[in-house]
């Protein structure tokens, strides 16, 4: 990758137009909106709300269905050296297996990322919080899928959960990377003037992004880097300048995604954050990311 920065899945990546804007940007890669077997409209609006500290969303997986992203992946020009990641979030294990089999049959050079962490489907718990179910899903996938792949994880908040989750992920050699973190699920933002919630689905509950989640994201990156030897960790959460990108890499991230900030600023965020990261590195005397990646000091 020519830049360590790319979009967080869900932001600027639902339509071909979005994906082409991402492709044309200075991002180092691009990832699609999580796809399901069938197209989905998603939850009722308003379903994304910006606050001074970040964002809350309950989109409900609006997407064009996996065939649309499979078509995009088939037409994608891999020679441009910008990796294409496909996020998959079927409504059931059977759906996920159908989607993954379809990609497997085409043997495309895109990289599949199985989303274990969508918090916004009423009545559907996040797979990442049910580790036996997550392990079962990964076993089923690995029965036939023979290419490297990744998973998108929810944030964990307890050291025993880092241990238990890592134990599961370490069973799968082809699971080459994890992305930490998805939004912090089921927050509640309140508008004092209106004495109301700010998004419609789930009576106002939604996934938090932005400043709210940076320390949680960094903790998840650092803890999984420590526990997943031989795998890579992609950092996601609270990146809005070169400083947060630096923090994620210092915590051990291989690459860094931008979500809430990209939603507000558009693809210009990649140039700005990359320049800020370069300036910060230059001020510190670092030439390359590996000069400081994973070198976070403890006291």
Interface with ligand DHB, residue 182, by CB under 6 A: yes
Residue matched to tokens 């992946």: 73
Which span (15-23, 54-62, 164-172, 289-297) binds ligand DHB, by CB under 6 A? Answer: 54-62
| Closest to ligand DHB by CB, 115 or 257 | 115
Active site residue 118: yes
Cβ atoms of 197 and 188 within 8 Å: the answer is yes
Secondary structure in 3-state letters for 103-169 = HHHHCCCCEEEEECCCCCCCCCCCHHHCHHHHHHHHHHHHCCCCCCEEEEECCCCCHHHHHHHHHHH
Interface with ligand DHB, residue 61, by CB under 6 A: yes
Interface with ligand DHB, residue 238, by CB under 6 A: no
Interface with ligand DHB, residue 54, by CB under 6 A: no
Return the closest-CA partner of residue 124 out of 100, 90, 79. 90
Interface with ligand DHB, residue 96, by CB under 6 A: no
Interface with ligand DHB, residue 117, by CB under 6 A: yes
Which span (11-19, 115-123, 142-150, 219-227) binds ligand DHB, by CB under 6 A? Answer: 115-123
User: Sign of torsion, CA 176 168 257 38?
Assistant: positive
Pick from 119, 187, 237, 252: which binds ligand DHB (CB under 6 A)? 119
Interface with ligand DHB, residue 237, by CB under 6 A: no
| Closest to ligand DHB by CB, 27 or 89 | 89
Question: DSSP code of 252?
Answer: T
- Cα separations in angstroms, 294 against 153, 235, 247, 252, 297: 19, 12, 9, 4, 9
Beta-carbon neighbour count of residue 260 at 10 Å?
28
* Distance, CA of 134 to CA of 34 (rounded, Å): 17
CB of residue 293 vs ligand DHB: minimum separation in angstroms?
26
Interface with ligand DHB, residue 179, by CB under 6 A: no
3-class SS at 72? helix
Catalytic hit among 13, 118, 180, 261: 118
| Closest to ligand DHB by CB, 4 or 187 | 187
Instruction: Kindly list the catalytic residues.
Output: 118
Could you list the residues that contact ligand DHB (CB under 6 A)? Answer: 10, 34, 42, 58-61, 89, 115, 117-120, 182-183, 207
């Amino acid at each position: 990758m020519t830049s360590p920065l790319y979009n967080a899945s869900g932001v600027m990546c639902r339509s071909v137009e979005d994906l082409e804007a991402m492709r044309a940007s200075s991002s180092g890669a691009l990832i699609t909106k999580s796809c399901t077997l069938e197209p989905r409209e998603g939850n009722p609006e308003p379903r994304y709300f910006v606050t001074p500290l970040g964002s809350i969303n309950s989109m409900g997986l609006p997407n064009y269905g996996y065939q649309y992203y499979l078509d995009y992946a088939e037409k994608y020009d891999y020679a441009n050296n910008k990796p294409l990641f496909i996020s998959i979030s079927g409504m059931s294990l059977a759906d996920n297996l159908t989607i993954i089999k379809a990609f497997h049959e085409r043997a495309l050079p895109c990289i599949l990322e199985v989303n274990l962490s969508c918090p916004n489907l009423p009545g559907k718990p996040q797979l990442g919080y049910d580790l036996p179910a997550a392990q079962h899903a990964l076993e089923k996938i690995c029965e036939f899928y023979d290419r490297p792949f990744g998973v998108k994880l929810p944030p964990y908040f307890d050291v025993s959960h880092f241990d238990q989750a890592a134990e599961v992920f370490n069973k799968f050699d082809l699971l080459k990377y994890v992305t930490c973190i998805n939004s912090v699920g089921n927050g509640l933002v309140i508008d004092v003037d209106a004495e109301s919630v700010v998004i419609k689905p789930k009576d106002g509950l939604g996934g938090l992004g932005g400043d709210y989640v940076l320390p949680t994201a960094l903790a998840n990156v650092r803890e999984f880097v420590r526990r997943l030897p031989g795998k890579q960790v992609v950092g996601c959460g609270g990146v809005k300048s070169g400083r947060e990108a630096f923090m994620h890499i210092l915590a051990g991230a291989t690459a860094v995604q931008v979500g809430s900030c990209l939603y507000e600023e558009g693809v210009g965020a990649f140039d700005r954050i990359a320049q800020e990261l370069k300036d910060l590195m230059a001020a510190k005397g670092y030439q390359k990311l590996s000069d400081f990646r994973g070198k976070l000091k403890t006291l």
